[in-house]
Structure 1
Amino acid sequence: MSRGSGVPGYWYGGKAPPPHARLLSGVYGALTGLRRDLYRRGLLRARHPGCPVVVVGNLVAGGSGKTPMTIALVERLRAAGWTPGVASRGYGRAEAGRPAWVEAGTDPALGGDEPVLIAARTGVPVRVDADRVAAARDLVARGCDIVVCDDGLQHYRLARDLEIEVIDGRRRYGNGHLLPAGPLREPPGRGESCHFRVLNVGSDPDLSAGFGEWPMWLEPADARPLTGGRPRPLAAYSGQRVHAVAGIGDPERFFSMLRGHGIAVVPHAFPDHHRYQADDLRFGSDLPVLLTEKDAVKCAALAGERWYSVGIDARLPEAFWVALLGRLPTRSSRPAQAP
């Protein structure tokens, strides 16, 4: 039943990419490099919404931990007195050309799985729009005084005040090639221009952040029934077999986290942003089903009685937050909001 992560094996394996992929990678690199240079020279103009913009992104196609980082950032900004909103593309949603406000109850097919999760976890305004500048301006018009752009590192049309690169601590940049020969959207050196580089070490004690990187640990929350009811501590499944469902950038990270809590995992990996059908989730045995929070928002209508969503909380050193907040304007010197 496992579908895998949906990426070519040579991206993160030892096999060399095929010649045609390497050729296309060169073309892709030339085009994206030209685009970056046009923005750097001012020949293409970036637009600013009139309030601070913090971009959270990565250099690879697929997940690296951006969503937990975004949620943690929003919560910390709000605690510091800001009124944040989140701008996102809403990858994979239907009617992608139509902007939309996303709330906790929005259908993920219309709002995107990650924006719905962010809205549910934070309660802040979330705007999805292929044009992130328009999304940011809509957030400002709604009363937000700071915009967090989720997965916007390559959206150069939106001017930004801070950039945060999130790196998968286990897979990093894969084979180091640009798309489609490898997972990279931009060369690794692009990350050096970001104000902060966050290494997602998950719950792996063997991973450690390198020079210039801040570690981010992912801690599992209680397992919440998709059909309603009281949450259960993850420790309640220790020593048990469960079906584990993950349609994220690196499903193995979720499975490893569960195994680290003594849970015997029957893994079911799906491609990132997978749209689930009932047949996907017929496993043939009546075991508890643990899903990532991102998958759970898409599977509520399909859920059985013993299906549980396992949330993730991102933890970063306090020094990281001090450094990040120190780069933002003080409350008395915030720029006037754009009309």
Structure 2
Amino acid sequence: MRAPGFWFTSPDRPGLIPRLLAPLGWLYAAATARRLRRPGYVPQVPVICVGNLTAGGAGKTPTTIALANRLSAMGHAVHVVSRGYGGSLAGPVRVDEARHSAADVGDEPLLLSAFAPVWIAKDRAAGVKAAEAAGARVILLDDGFQNPAVKPSLGLVVVDANRGFGNGRCIPAGPLREPVATGLARADLVLTIGDTAAQTRFEAQWGRAIQVPRLKGELRPLAMGMDWQGTRVLAFAGIADPSRFFATLRAEGAEVIRGEALADHEILSDTLLRRLEAEAKATGAQLVTTEKDAARLSPAWRSKVLTLVVRLQVQDWSALDAHLVRLGL
């Protein structure tokens, strides 16, 4: 499902629908609070939970990749534990790119497996225990900030600086899984992802709500020998905010003939892809998608679709590094 537009209206002018749905949002927040009171598994190694306060993507996967690379470069045996959203396997099972597809384990775990051992488990505590038994010395818990199954050593809340916390209301009145103040009270760090203009807007609207150290980062394309300047493309993306992907392509100089915005994690059926391929051929364009969407492509389509790869660049990691020292890392 795509997020409704009223989720991202101004908190000062929420509109009629969010006001009518507000009581349901209060019930949702209360249910989340009750769930979080349950005792969770206390891991034997440090666990860094990479989560967010809103439904949908905020940049958790690029953040997990960046953390995995950073911890690995420091010499730590880092594993990732994920719920495996969109996959059929319950786990715990270690993701094997040669054996598993996105339909088995989810697109994000398949993508992450190129950077660190990844375990998918519907029961996150079981996934953490499997990673510990396999030799993990630090674990990145991909999502799970509102799940009580595991007690993390460090909570990192990731925020899309463009969208912030939306209209500041809980599902279904807004995008929040829990109230901002409640969620940030459990956070050790906040990472806002966006360009300078987005960071400035976020600071003006939500800066006073952040009472913990804040990291700032931006998703930047990797060159990888591809010059997008003047390239005619038909882009498609099934991520939280497809327009951001299309804007990145334009900023790289690509001529975006059209952008097909899909639902987050939407299945890339042959029917859909054949339609897009026919349109691309008719307009002299090249199909292009995100790295996460590419993980859901069948082998027959991967050679036909280009991928724009982005990586998270953080201005200053020192606030995180201070916590890593505290954790003995």
> Which TM-score tier does this pair reach, normalised by the shorter chain?
0.7 to 0.9
Q: Which runs of 5+ in 2 are unaligned?
A: 208-212
Q: Cα–Cα, structure 1 residues 329 and 305, in superposed 2: closer, same or farther, change >3 Å?
A: closer
Task: Show the 5 A alignment for 1:1-339.
Answer: 6-13=2-9, 15-17=15-17, 21-36=21-36, 39=37, 44-95=38-89, 97-105=90-98, 106-120=100-114, 122=115, 124-189=116-181, 190-201=183-194, 204-208=195-199, 210=203, 212-222=213-223, 232-233=225-226, 236-265=227-256, 266-281=258-273, 282-283=275-276, 284-286=279-281, 287-303=285-301, 305-316=303-314, 317-330=316-329
Q: Matches of 2:254 and 2:55 in 1, distance apart?
A: 30
Q: Matches of 2:262 and 2:225 in 1, distance apart?
A: 25
Q: Matches of 1:275 and 1:291 in 2, distance apart?
A: 13
How far does residue 8 in structure 1 lie from its aligned partner after superposition?
1.6
Q: Deviations over 1:196-235 (max 9, x none)?
A: 100011xx3312264542111111124xxxxxxxx542xx
Return the TM-score normalized by structure 1: 0.84
How far does residue 305 in structure 1 lie from its aligned partner after superposition?
4.8
Q: Matches of 1:128 and 1:280 in 2, distance apart?
A: 28
Q: Cα–Cα, structure 1 residues 192 and 253, in superposed 2: closer, same or farther, change >3 Å?
A: farther
8 A contact 1:86–1:126 mirrored in 2 = yes
Q: Matches of 1:98 and 1:74 in 2, distance apart?
A: 21
Q: Matches of 2:97 and 2:150 in 1, distance apart?
A: 26
Q: Secondary structure of 1:159's partner?
A: coil
Q: Secondary structure of 1:256's partner?
A: helix
Q: Secondary structure of 2:150's partner?
A: coil
How far does residue 90 in structure 1 lie from its aligned partner after superposition?
0.7
Q: Matches of 1:199 and 1:112 in 2, distance apart?
A: 25
How far does residue 33 in structure 1 lie from its aligned partner after superposition?
2.2
Q: Which amino acid aligns with 2:80?
A: V
Q: Matches of 2:109 and 2:127 in 1, distance apart?
A: 13
In proportion to residue count, which structure has more helix? 2
CA RMSD across the alignment:
1.9
8 A contact 1:247–1:270 mirrored in 2 = yes
How far does residue 156 in structure 1 lie from its aligned partner after superposition?
1.7
Q: Matches of 1:22 and 1:119 in 2, distance apart?
A: 40
Q: Secondary structure of 1:207's partner?
A: helix
Q: Cα–Cα, structure 1 residues 238 and 300, in superposed 2: closer, same or farther, change >3 Å?
A: farther
* Regions of 4+ moved over 3 Å: 13-16, 18-21, 209-212
8 A contact 1:278–1:302 mirrored in 2 = no
How far does residue 157 in structure 1 lie from its aligned partner after superposition?
2.2
Q: Percent identity?
A: 34
Q: Which amino acid aligns with 1:79?
A: A
Q: Matches of 2:186 and 2:247 in 1, distance apart?
A: 32
- Aligned residue pairs total 305
Q: Matches of 1:192 and 1:285 in 2, distance apart?
A: 48
Q: Matches of 2:286 and 2:214 in 1, distance apart?
A: 37
Q: Which amino acid aligns with 1:102?
A: V
Return the TM-score normalized by structure 2: 0.87
Q: Deviations over 1:50-109 (max 9, x none)?
A: 1111000000000000000001101111111210110110112124x3432212332001
8 A contact 1:52–1:160 mirrored in 2 = yes
Q: Which runs of 5+ in 1 are unaligned?
A: 223-230, 331-339
